[in-house]
Amino acid sequence: MTAPSVMVAGRQGDARGRQVAYHYGPPHWRPDMKDPYRARQPSISIAYLQLLLEILAERGIGAEVLLEGVPINAMLLNDSQARMSPAQWTLLVMRAQALSQDPALGYEYGLRMRPTVHGVLGYAAMSAATLRQAQEISVRYARLRQAGFTFELQEDNHYSYLTLRERQPIPVMRQFFVENILLGVARATAVLLGRDLLDIPGLEIGFDCAEPDYYGQWRDRLPTTRFQQPVNQVLLPAHYLSQRPVMADPLASRGAIELCERELALAADQEADISQRVRAELVLQGDGYPTLEQVAAKLCMSSRTLKRKLQRHGTSFLLILEEARRRDAQQLLEHSGLSIQGVAARLGYQNPANFSRAFSKWTGESPTSFRHRLRYVIEK
């Protein structure tokens, strides 16, 4: 059967402020047209479609019905490594909501989300040393699973604030995506802590939309939920951040993080690769790490432009520098004969206590404990 031509259209201002149309459609739609938002690039794991099919099957809607008329190869369902494009995923979600006649499908999908559906990213988060590290992992690698969104993570003395941001226009099904992502984050938090979703006092979800008509039917299954908020956000009391996930395994988490890094590097295009290019420049030298100005000069741009580009992709120079320090700290503690104070100085910490605090935040253990544990494993 020939798939019907399907187009999702919207308008976006160009560099001169003019309104220009953008179109999402199947692969054969105007093949010479540019794809500025990579809507037809296979970037979304097929595991998300498999979860959707689980939900629909319970309602008597089979895979062949959902896929009818959608330009996607059904054979992909048998390949755990397969990916679909944002355009295909959007069409499938639209069709699922129409077939189920359920406007609250985003709620159910989010509540049914298992961390393992996220693949290696889910395993990296589940095995993290602390819930704080799990959140940081999720923020850093979110683009591997949600091409259209990114996360921002902030923390004060009372709460952590995990804010969902759109990396590109979401012309249709925006509410479904926002609902399922935020509820999926909340449920993952409960799974990591070994608790029921409703047994996490202080956990809140904020949506920027008005309260939908179907919310009343789901109120008793959701944590505290607020509508018409300035941003889409999950709030969690700060005291949970230091808690150890029930499946914590720092060594396994590091292995999963390495796989995420590899996947991130492979998935990056030239523009999105700006953070990878910065990471490549942040090599520890005899006099420490290059400065923001030095890295910007190497990349042939001003420091202001570099900061703006990094912010656009949900990160910053300081965050990438912290990642480099974390990576190199583990290498130095494992392979060098430097003292803890020497490692701290090598990484640019004037006060060793600041390094120890940072390392404990990254890994859930002190530099001394980390080094002793590694030596014990090696000797054994």
Nearest to 248 by CA among 137, 113, 372, 364: 364
Cα separation of 277 and 280, whole Å? 5
pLDDT at site 37: 60
Report if residue 155 sits inside a domain. yes
Cα separation of 182 and 138, whole Å? 12
Other beta carbons within 10 Å of 286: 5
Report if residue 368 sits inside a domain. yes
pLDDT at site 181: 96
Residues 49 and 72 placed together within one structural domain of the fold: yes
Residues 302 and 355 placed together within one structural domain of the fold: yes
Contact 66, 57 (CB under 8 A): no
pLDDT at site 73: 84
pLDDT at site 213: 97
Residues 141 and 97 placed together within one structural domain of the fold: no
Report if residue 258 sits inside a domain. no
> Which DSSP string corresponds to 160-229?
EEEEEEESS---SSHHHHHHHHHHHHHHHHHHHHTS-GGGSTT-EEE-SSPPPTTHHHHGGGSSEEE-S-
Residue 340: give its domain's CATH number: 1.10.10.60
Residues 233 and 296 placed together within one structural domain of the fold: no
Residue 44, SS3 per DSSP: strand
Cα separation of 65 and 121, whole Å? 30
pLDDT at site 363: 82
Cα separation of 343 and 90, whole Å? 49
Residues 172 and 236 placed together within one structural domain of the fold: yes
pLDDT at site 43: 79
Report if residue 277 sits inside a domain. yes
Report if residue 3 sits inside a domain. no
- Residue 149, amino acid: F
Alpha carbon 121 to its chain's center: 8
Nearest to 242 by CA among 195, 193, 205, 194: 193
Report if residue 318 sits inside a domain. yes
Number of residues assigned to the chain: 380
Alpha helices in the chain (DSSP H): 46-57, 63-67, 86-100, 105-112, 120-126, 131-141, 174-193, 215-218, 250-267, 274-281, 292-298, 303-312, 317-335, 340-346, 352-363, 367-379
Cα separation of 153 and 37, whole Å? 24
pTM (predicted TM-score): 0.64
The three-point CA angle 291-139-179 to 5° equals 150
In DSSP terms, which residues pair with 154 in a beta bridge? 161
Residues 290 and 222 placed together within one structural domain of the fold: no
Which domain covers residue 76, as residue numbers? 8-102
Number of domains in the chain: 3
In the numeric block, which tokens belong to residue 355?
Answer: 């390094």
Contact 141, 260 (CB under 8 A): yes
Residues 96 and 138 placed together within one structural domain of the fold: no
In the numeric block, which tokens belong to residue 368?
Answer: 């001394």
Residues 144 and 218 placed together within one structural domain of the fold: yes
Mark the ranges of the chain whose per-residue pLDDT is less than 50.
1-34, 270-272, 377-378, 380
In the numeric block, which tokens belong to residue 10?
Answer: 């919207």
Nearest to 206 by CA among 181, 187, 218, 224: 224
Residues 158 and 90 placed together within one structural domain of the fold: no
